[in-house]
Amino acid sequence: MFVDLAKIKVKAGDGGDGAVSFHREKYVASGGPDGGDGGKGGDIVFVADSNLSTLADFRYKRKYVAPNGENGRGARCTGKSARDLVIHVPIGTVVKDAETGRLIADVSGKDPVIIAKGGKGGWGNVHFSTSTRQTPRFAKPGMPGEEFDLTLELKLLADVGLVGYPNVGKSTLVSVVSEAKPVIANYHFTTITPNLGVVNMGDGNSFVIADIPGLIEGAWQGVGLGHRFLRHVERCRMLVHIVDVSGSEGRDPIDDFNIINNELAKFNEELSKRPMIVAGNKCDMATDEQIERFKNYVEEKGYEFFPMMAAIRYNVDPLLNKILEMLSNLPPIKQYEPEPEQIIVPDRSERYAVKITNNDGVYFVEGEWLLKIMKSVNFDDYESMQYFQRMLQIGGVIDALREKGCGEGDTVVIYDLEFDFVE
């Protein structure tokens, strides 16, 4: 099954916690703090894999979590950093933030791409030793790893995209100019997935051609099958618009030509500016007047016209030669640049936001930043308690309690810590 769209959740590893430890050795009094730092959490890394052609694997596994870094240990031993979690995706996979739509990466090259960074390890208590604080009984916890809900879109890498109505001969052309063998039948939507073929022109020259399932009017809004695969045209360096010049299905070839061009422009305005040539297929079923009328119309629009009969490869080589000539003057296949993350610097109130609830004279305090601080504090140690009190002052918790009416002797509960408020 051809799957070119998937949604997954990724979570990089958390950093290990710093250690609280003191040097102990015979005949060495007061050896001092020697708690080591925590190890770094594992990254989430995407790698382009030429052996994959769809995103089908992500239909069955949707959550990917990298391992956490090890905690620090005594004797200044740093915890081991975790291994990265490597995820293989097809070449041409575009990774977006599902929540904001921000383009994070285009996985099209050989180099691995880090999608989510693992958290840094926390500092051990050896970092907090000063001339006045010689026995710090606290350390820093590891930082959490990045976490994203991702949308994966596969956009095939091809030099040339074949576009046109269903049953005009796109798959037939691919089958006669390359080794690709798409399903070919005389009914609409025979092609239900994009097909890639490599056209070998000799002398070391070749290009990749993509057969896009047939488009119809309204495709950009979701009508027919082609709308699902229009994203695969976006990378193509040029387009070949194939039209049934005989009007064998009762449609006017000129109308077909204009409708498909409008669908491309509505889906993505850039596609209307993409270099394009026009191939008139099924010439054996058309009159000279039909061919001449369509040829004149297309050339008036500024496009080169190539009449052909794809099924018997009649007049196909001039078309291929023109494609090769145009490609030699066009830029390489488009790759998308990551969009910078919009960084919003929170003000002081947001950085140290707390929720205070008064329940019958007991004040309950909650805040994510408080949880991180509490993980690093040893409440049996006087210096650690001083550090915690300073953070409550800096974070505005004491002032916020006063504003809520908390006074001398009132009970304050911060998660599993309970104490009496002192003015």
- Is there a contact between 156 and 92 (Cβ–Cβ < 8 Å)? yes
The answer to whether residue 373 scores a pLDDT higher than 80 is no
The answer to whether residue 346 scores a pLDDT higher than 50 is no
Query: Closest Cα to residue 53, out of 97, 106, 1, 8?
Result: 1
The answer to whether residue 344 scores a pLDDT higher than 60 is no
Task: Classify domain 348-420 by CATH number.
Answer: 3.30.300.350
Structure tokens at 52: 């994959």
- E strand residue ranges, 175-290: 195-202, 205-211, 238-244, 276-281
Contacts of 252 by beta carbon, 8 Å cutoff, 6+ apart:
none
Q: Which CATH number fits domain 160-327: 2.60.40.1180, 3.40.50.300, 3.40.50.11890, 2.160.10.10?
A: 3.40.50.300
Domain residue ranges in the chain: 1-157, 160-327, 348-420
Is residue 231 helix, strand or coil? helix
Backbone angles phi, psi at 163, to 5 degrees: -125, 160
User: Rounded distance, CA 138 to CA 35, Å?
Assistant: 10
Local confidence band at 422 (pLDDT 50, 70, 90 cut-offs): confident
Query: Closest Cα to residue 123, out of 11, 33, 25, 32?
Result: 33
Structure tokens at 23: 């040097």
Give the residue with greater pLDDT, 350 vs 192: 350
Q: What is the DSSP letter of 12?
A: P
Query: pLDDT at position 156, please?
Result: 81
| Alpha-helical runs (H) found in 328-360 | 348-351
Structure tokens at 365: 């305090």
pTM of the model: 0.70
**CATH fold for the domain made of 1-157:** Spo0b-associated Gtp-binding Protein; Chain: A, (2.70.210)
The answer to whether residue 169 scores a pLDDT higher than 80 is yes
User: Rounded distance, CA 401 to CA 175, Å?
Assistant: 76
- Is there a contact between 163 and 277 (Cβ–Cβ < 8 Å)? no
Local confidence band at 25 (pLDDT 50, 70, 90 cut-offs): confident
**What's the pLDDT tens digit per position in 113-140?**
999 999 989 888 888 777 777 778 778 7
CA 72 from chain centre, in angstroms, equals 33
